[in-house]
Amino acid sequence: MEYLVFRLYGAMASWGNVAVGESRHSAHYPGKSAIAGLFGAALGIPREREDLHQNLAQQYRQAVKVLNVGTLLKDFHTVQVPDSAGKRRYHTRRDELVVGKARLGTLLSRREYLVDAQAVVALRSCEEANWTLAELCEALARPKYHLYLGRKAFPLSAPTAARVIGADNFRSALDHYESPELLDYQPEWARQERWLPTEESCRYYWEGSLDDFSAEDGEFSAGSVQRLSRLDQPLSRKRWQFQPRIENLWQS
Amino acid sequence: MSRFIQLHVLTAYPPANLNRDDLGRPKTAKMGGCDRLRISSQSLKRHWRTSELFQQVLATEQGDSLIGTRTKRQGVLAYDTLLELGVSEKKAKLWAQKIAEQFGKLKKPEKDNPLADLEIEQLVHLSSAEQNGINALLKTLAEEGREPEKAELDLLRKENMAVDIALFGRMLASKPTYNVEAACQVAHALSAHSVVIEDDYFTAVDDLNDRSEDAGAAHLGEAGFAAGLFYSYICINKELLIENLGGDKSLADRAVAALTETILKVSPSGKQNSYASRAYASYVVAEAGDQQPRSLSAAYLKPVDRYSEDYAHDAIDALQKQLQSFDNVYGDCADSRYVLNAVTGEGNIKELLAFVSE
């Protein structure tokens, strides 16, 4: 079976999670909506084309291997906006802040960001998929819109180095993919464990059955797999709704 | 034409507190396991788009059809046009006022200037698209001899796209039809080196305290600050920008050049009265191409050594090496590049602006 495998690294990232009101939390690894959105951007699908986005979210199965868990950072964020009372409509942001100065109010939010995190993602396509893995791979290499890690302010800090590879299952696809080194110069410090340390054990998240991930061997057994539910299966963009999705977690 | 214009910018700020958290201390982030100073992308964008420079560069030549006009006199203009089209004075004034009102608050009537209440209190920047929309509407009104309807006045704003909204987008949860996808991506700026935030313990003296009773200070306070050499990354999607601007490529070119100049020269304004830390960029790499954009922040995963004798040199060196190393490993990451180095004096802003607005 074929898999599209690629690496996601940026100095900062934030993966959508259930967020109500002032606090905007981040998950520790990219979810379904994030990956579907990434390919939507790469292919240049406008946000209104819900049918195409649904295809991306439903017709591909994904697995994630977390290379670096990273740490969480809390950001205190303020936005100044004038209230909308009166007839005035502000033409530009400058108008809002300069012309509407007397009416300015502040919105607060607390956001969680991930720093020093790195992950490898593997994608498998289903029968009804609109795009082949090779087409998705090409789209990543020459994207139509910006690619980003959960928020637009978090760009990729290394090419995704996407490749289509043949493998028996998710685990072998993820483990056989060797992403080019992030830092191929200054090897004496790149090896220093401090800057971006290799995790002692790796977390794998995947959709589907145990067989989709790996055949049982010495270290992998059904008993060590956790079933998780995450609210990240896009249902409607207009209504901003997500469905729960079942995922498996195995830690090497 | 290249789809993406990427800017990698190094700017050195002396001790300052440019962007604050909820405790009033400078914002930080970890990278490569070390604490860095941070300026949020939101803070950077706010200062760029509200800066005088950005406005000026986009609206220097009055009447230039590409860049719109800044005027208070839109109502007067509409009034004159209506009179020329044969509308009576009374009607012309009423209709012109309705149009002018769309752009701002009208001035109060004056005794010796009958047209004063046709003027708007502030300068308004009108795009050429908007101007054309007004002219078309005036013609319709004169032909049909009626006053503008509410829906028609609404259209005046919808047609137009301000350059800063085209670049940085707009999201209105309540009115998604007005949403605009930002054509410019701005990363949080991080310091190339690790930092420790320092505490400035300060006192303020009361000038009228004659020390007859006590010689104490009138106010005590503490403020966090730090100096940093920041790496900023900006990626502009030229194709999307042109689309946002209704296909106006030359306006998009000017917008990119204006933004680039602003990025190089405008600093966040946090605590400027205390620190006067304004700075111009010291080093810029501009890239153009359709390849997958990527930032070069990995250059500073290992922070510039704190025993370094020359931060600017080491930071530039690391950036160049990272750029080269990505090219070696992944193939060329851009079609063409332009480098401006204000440390050694190579390159100049004129050529850089010509490169990005090609």
* CA A206 to chain centroid: 14
Distance CA A58, CA A53 (A): 9
Question: Closest Cα to residue B232, out of B182, B278, B291, B284?
Answer: B284
* pLDDT for res B354: 96
B99 lies within 8 A of chain A by CB: no
Question: Closest Cα to residue B261, out of B115, B30, B92, B60?
Answer: B60
Q: Is the ipTM of this complex over 0.95?
A: no
List all residues of chain B from 304 to 323 with a beta carbon under 8 Å from chain A: 321-322
Backbone angles phi, psi at B243, to 5 degrees: -60, -45
Q: Is A81 exposed, middle or buried (0-12, 13-18, 19+ CB in 10 A)?
A: middle
Q: Helices A133-141 and A32-43, interaxial angle, to 10°?
A: 70
Distance CA A5, CA A167 (A): 11
Angle at CA A219, nearest 5°, toward A215 and A223? 75
Comparing B212 with A123, the larger pLDDT belongs to A123
CA distance B26 to chain A (A): 11
Please tell me which residue of chain B has the smallest CA distance to A143: B292
Q: Which helix (H) or strand (E) holds B36?
A: strand B34-39
Question: Band of the pLDDT at B193, cuts 50, 70, 90?
Answer: very high
Question: Band of the pLDDT at B64, cuts 50, 70, 90?
Answer: very low
Both structure tokens of B67: 């860049």
Lowest mean pLDDT among A17-31, A33-47, B181-195, B287-301: A17-31
Angle at CA B282, nearest 5°, toward B276 and B287? 130
Render pLDDT for B226-273 as a digit per residue (tens, 0 to 9). 999 999 999 999 999 999 888 888 889 989 999 999 999 999 999 999
CA distance A221 to chain B (A): 34
CA distance A150 to chain B (A): 12
B22 lies within 8 A of chain A by CB: yes
Render pLDDT for A153-199 as a digit per residue (tens, 0 to 9). 999 999 999 999 999 999 999 999 987 777 765 555 555 667 788 78
Distance CA B154, CA B177 (A): 13
> In order along chain A (252 residues), what is the average pLDDT of each group of 10 residues?
96 90 91 96 93 95 94 91 70 76 88 95 95 97 97 96 95 89 62 74 93 87 91 87 94 90
Render pLDDT for B307-317 as a digit per residue (tens, 0 to 9). 889 999 999 99
* pLDDT for res B238: 96
CA distance B301 to chain A (A): 6
Which of A80, A115, A199, A239 best probes binding to B when mutated, by most B CB atoms within 10 angstroms? A115
Contact A73 B30 (CB under 8 A): yes
pLDDT at B178 over 90: no
Contact A93 B50 (CB under 8 A): yes
Per-residue burial over A215-226, b if 16 or more Cβ lie within 10 Å, else e, is eeeeebeeeebe
Q: Hey, what amino acid is at B146?
A: R
* pLDDT for res B156: 58
Render pLDDT for B127-137 as a digit per residue (tens, 0 to 9). 666 677 788 88
pLDDT at B120 over 90: no
* CA B118 to chain centroid: 31
* pLDDT for res B145: 85
Both structure tokens of B122: 């502030």
Residues contacting A234, CB < 8 A, separation 6+: A32, A33, A36, A53, A54, A57, A241, A242, A243
pLDDT at B109 over 50: yes
pLDDT at B37 over 70: yes
Contact B187 A12 (CB under 8 A): yes
Rounded average pLDDT over B198-210: 91
Contact A25, A151 (CB under 8 A): no
Distance CA A72, CA A117 (A): 9
Question: Closest Cα to residue B327, out of A238, A193, A184, A104?
Answer: A184
Both structure tokens of B250: 């030359």
Lowest mean pLDDT among B35-39, B72-76, B193-197, B338-342: B72-76
Q: Which helix (H) or strand (E) holds B231?
A: strand B219-237
